[in-house]
Amino acid sequence: MTRVGQSQSSQYLDSPAGPADPPRRPGGYPPGRRAMLGIAGAVAIVALLAGGWAVASVFRSPGQIASDAAAPPPSVITAPVEQGVLAETLTVQGEVRAGDQTSASLTAAGEGGVAVVTDAPVAIGSQVSPGQVVLEINAQPVFALPGAFPFFRDLRTGDTGRDVEQLQRALNTAGYSTTADGIFGLETERSLTSLYADHGYEVPKEVVAEDGSAATEDAPAPTQEPSTPSNPAAQPAQPVPVAPTVPEMQAVATSSSFVVTSVLPATVVAAPGVGSLPDDAAVVFAKGSPIASALVIAATAAQLEVGFEAKATIAGAEIPLVLQNIGVADEEGLVPITFVTAESATVSVADSSVGEKPVLVVTRSVVAQDALLVPSRAVASRGSSRFVLRQEAESDFQEVPVKEVGELNGISAIEILNEEQLKPGDLVRVQ
């Protein structure tokens, strides 16, 4: 009799592929399950702890809340004591230009009405003296001469007048001696000729007849036919050779050869360059020390007065200035203002600074002169008395009685009773 159950059980137990139950302790769990339970327990503990922290962070005592909300201890703010001028100022953008400027017009009508600048021997910014060539127009020189008015006509031998006298005086100033009698004579002609020759030019000349009228270089035409000899046998007389007549020439002082200004010697600040000459061409001269100028709006100009002090840092030096002139507003509402170097200045504006654009600080009013300056918030009050707290150590301050003499834009000028109590560089507490 076959025992099927036993046979099947044996096959299952003995088969190498069949699962074998792990050994157990009475009442215990397998090792793998015990590990899983341990991990779960640890996670639970961590969660419990985290939850407890969260609860603790939410549920704080009133003391803790007040402590956390309190502001941190205030830090001590100090500021240095300075010494200087407390003044109301205006700041404008300026420009340095040459001194008082004078414009001298040019008149030149070249051949065919064309006038061309053919040379400009004087560079802008250079100084010229009386009798110096400043331009060349149509290959002819233009001399700078001192005078009160431009020459309005060409001058030649025999001419008289104030313009002749001005030419004579100008020639004298340039180093060419002639009598300033207002009569254009031989002496004036020689001086004029020398002026041209010394600069490498020939003086303009024109042909004149003995009676002073214009002459031609052509020989005059015969007035009648030559006569026929009455004796045919006689030989006609041979003509006597006549030496050619040299036309008389005289120097002419053309009005276009001179540019007249009253400021010579002076600096050329503007002049037409080589090329066509505009109808309104002029040479601009400047006399004296360079000045500072600016354009301000009308509202700013209304706050200024001639004589206001200013300062500007030019070429690395701080130069005191004085407001010299307030102009008239232009079409755009801008008002030109000019400054000159103050008489008390130890450093003046140099010619080399022309063209620089410094910032001009204009003083409108002075609150205190040469005073100790501190932030207004550093001045404390106790009744009618004023004091500042001078820092002795990091957290140690000494009370110093002061008198507040003025305040402007958060800065106070103060006086102290004892100079030893407060000096520039000390730190005071800012309230």
Q: What residues are paired with 141 via a beta bridge?
A: 136
Phi and psi dihedrals of 72, rounded to 5? Answer: -65, 160
Residue 18 gets which letter from DSSP?
A: S
Displacement of CA 170 from its chain's centroid (Å): 37
CA distance 407 to 105: 54
CA distance 101 to 287: 6
**According to the model, what pLDDT value does residue 289 have?**
80
Instruction: Report the greatest alpha carbon distance in the chain.
Output: 207
Pairing label, strands 397-408, 359-375: unpaired
Where in the chain are the domains? 100-204+247-287, 291-429
- Block means of pLDDT (10 residues each) for the chain, 431 residues, are 38 43 53 55 50 50 62 78 92 88 76 80 90 94 95 94 97 96 96 97 84 44 49 61 69 94 88 85 87 93 94 91 93 93 86 88 92 95 92 89 92 86 93 81
Characterize 142-167 residue by residue with b for buried, 16 or more Cβ atoms within 10 angstroms of its Cβ, and e for exposed: bbbbbbeebbeeebbeebeeebbbbb
**According to the model, what pLDDT value does residue 103 have?**
87
CA distance 321 to 311: 5
Dihedral, 407, 408, 411, 416 alpha carbons, nearest 10 = -30
Residue 195: in which H helix or E strand, if any? helix 186-198
**According to the model, what pLDDT value does residue 404 have?**
93
**According to the model, what pLDDT value does residue 33 have?**
56
CA distance 35 to 152: 124
CA distance 387 to 378: 8
CA distance 226 to 72: 134
